[in-house]
Structure 1
């Protein structure tokens, strides 16, 4: 069964350069080869039980598709990154002063300028023992890079807070309402029942190292260097926490919440649809569980729905067809766009489980309404020239929290009977 395409559009990208265009053309060629080889595999299965050589060919092309898609994503990511040093975007005098003082601190360890700012505004730092906050444009750039690398952060609702915990009230039951005639008696309505979700911000750290020679080089943009160094470490830790984190000293991932069959769904748990076969799609009508998963989501959420799965799961999904022989998985329409499944975008997260018995390997939902990421304002850096001589370490911390904020907005596919 095919579904109508959603109104969700691909992220805006710059004009594709020759490298991106060439990589995208190779990706599309590989996808066409994959479809031909898989069609051959299915035909052989029907005739004589299958040829292992053809099956191996399908898997090798599947791996090429994954590699080529990763190359395209990397090239597009590089094209999206704005240069921090190309022009002075900071027009506010105090912000420029902070930027200059922070640059001096990173390069030389001289913190007098930041201490003066701290004394004036009590906002530039928290003292030498706790580090100093990075300039606002550097913090913003780190946030952009994390969103580009982390699929959950890119999909979720992200809030910046100034306190240690973000509390969000929600209504578990609303006031009773109903229709009534103009002159009929009205019964008293009940009051709404409110509860509260709490999202504490936990500390995340990275410790990039630099040589003093690099720091002495005036041509090196310190803001950009720091953002690049911490992005991979932060993104990796965040990605895992947002999916499987237990909430102890880290955000709570959506797979860490209690789950229940969709037919018995209640608030506070995530509903799942079973494939009907342990560890795999069913042999007959294998696409039916995906259709059931999509329609387990209410229409108000479904219009902004997205699939989330690992690379290996996506490789299995690529082989599925509908009753008309059309592939359910569709290649991206342009560099930087997402592939689609049943008309909905597919995002890859290696933290998601691979298909196995009872694995919750595919998530579908409106993640912006379903999952909340909270960032406490301020990324702090503590310069350490002593612990790893001759290198200078930069203990960089940010506070991040996360958790499910709407339990009806995310549904899971469980590979179980």
Structure 2
């Protein structure tokens, strides 16, 4: 940041150079000295402001997560609680120590928070910024977390309404009577939670020596395991202690008819064993126009490799790799997300989904990650049993279409 320095007005500089009227020289010198003092003070304040703003910018950058799969540092929402939790993470905190601290009033608020999620209840509640770090790391690696509507709640489930019928309406003349119209009707949709866990291990010596960044290690290990389990559930979960998978809502799937608005429609690829260019073009226009604007493709790497070799009638590839690092490829002008949990191309399979996933599918995270420290089960390793609750389900069946490999 470059701040402008104060310069003397040209008029005053000219008067000083000319000498002014007889008897006015001393007065002018006094004015000029005062202006010089003011300029020095003003420029000094600008320098201080510049240093302050630079420091703020560096702090803001440090508070953000790193990109490309790395985990950065988030500012602690409650630094004292975070420090206490980190101490528990490295060396453990006994219930007796918690009760003693509460009885003496020492760090009462912190210990009260830890007591509310004590080991007897299944572990301590992780600090807010740890929860955020795990969520941010998951978003970097999870295609559906990038595509879908992710809601964080503090209640047992996330509910929304589906409009079954709209309000009645009609055309009338300027003075014609306006009779009462019908009232819209709604159906409630509730997305419950399943519990997911990870159980990473580390040696007590590493914890004691402080050789690793404990916060980064936890976020990385846990988010990777959560990604693996969630990815399967978001695509093919049966809803039993886990989210309802997208493919189960397709016509003929396990959740067909569960949504009050119907099921995800499946469109034939035009071939019993593969995907065709004409079939993909037709497929994109099966999705209603309001959803095509924000539509994306979802498929696995094997399917992507097959489609990337396809050309249109003029010999042009229909697949476009991005020239910018970290940006997704495009197919027929829409972004492609790769999810290895999608099926391969095979007869009667559903290898491709296309639609506005933000409008079509919701992921419901129950706020809070719980950690239980276990130094006993597998000595000399210390295990950290980490749990969170997450759900998912279809929000709008009209927003997504499935491509089915079958004869036209």
Taking structure 1 as the reference length, the TM-score comes to 0.75
| Residue equivalent to 1:336 | 326
Is contact 1:142-1:227 (8 Å) kept? yes
Residue among 361, 364, 367 paired with 2:357: 367
Q: Which consecutive residues of structure 1, in runs of 5 or more, have no partner in the other structure?
A: 1-76
| Residue equivalent to 1:268 | 262
Tell me by how many angstroms 1:78 deviates. 6.0
Q: 1:395 to 1:321 in 2, by over 3 A?
A: same
1:89 matches 2:75: yes
Q: Deviations over 1:357-400 (max 9, x none)?
A: 11111000110111100110100100011111111110000100
Tell me by how many angstroms 1:260 deviates. 6.5
Tell me by how many angstroms 1:159 deviates. 0.6
Tell me by how many angstroms 1:218 deviates. 2.5
Which deviates the most, 358-367 or 219-228?
219-228
Secondary structure at the aligned position of 1:332 is classed as coil
State how far apart, in whole Å, the 1-side matches of 2:111 and 2:84 are.
14
Is contact 2:373-2:382 (8 Å) kept? yes
Q: 1:108 to 1:174 in 2, by over 3 A?
A: same
| Residue equivalent to 1:202 | 194
Q: 1:161 to 1:237 in 2, by over 3 A?
A: same
| Residue equivalent to 1:128 | 119
Q: 1:155 to 1:122 in 2, by over 3 A?
A: farther
Q: Deviations over 1:77-112 (max 9, x none)?
A: 86453432xxx723x5xx111111111111111146
| Residue equivalent to 1:322 | 312
Is contact 1:308-1:349 (8 Å) kept? yes
State how far apart, in whole Å, the 2-side matches of 1:111 and 1:177 are.
66
Q: 1:189 to 1:278 in 2, by over 3 A?
A: same
State how far apart, in whole Å, the 2-side matches of 1:311 and 1:269 are.
26
| Residue equivalent to 2:89 | 106
| Residue equivalent to 2:240 | 248
Q: Deviations over 1:134-181 (max 9, x none)?
A: 111111110011111110111110111111111111211111122222
Highest CA radius of gyration, 1 or 2?
A: 2
| Residue equivalent to 2:42 | none
Is contact 1:176-1:190 (8 Å) kept? yes
Secondary structure at the aligned position of 1:296 is classed as coil
Secondary structure at the aligned position of 2:189 is classed as strand
Is contact 2:71-2:216 (8 Å) kept? no
Secondary structure at the aligned position of 2:72 is classed as coil
State how far apart, in whole Å, the 2-side matches of 1:81 and 1:246 are.
32
Taking structure 2 as the reference length, the TM-score comes to 0.76
| Residue equivalent to 1:379 | 369
Matched residues, number:
329
| Residue equivalent to 2:130 | 138
Q: 1:149 to 1:133 in 2, by over 3 A?
A: same
State how far apart, in whole Å, the 2-side matches of 1:258 and 1:79 are.
33
Q: 1:331 to 1:295 in 2, by over 3 A?
A: same
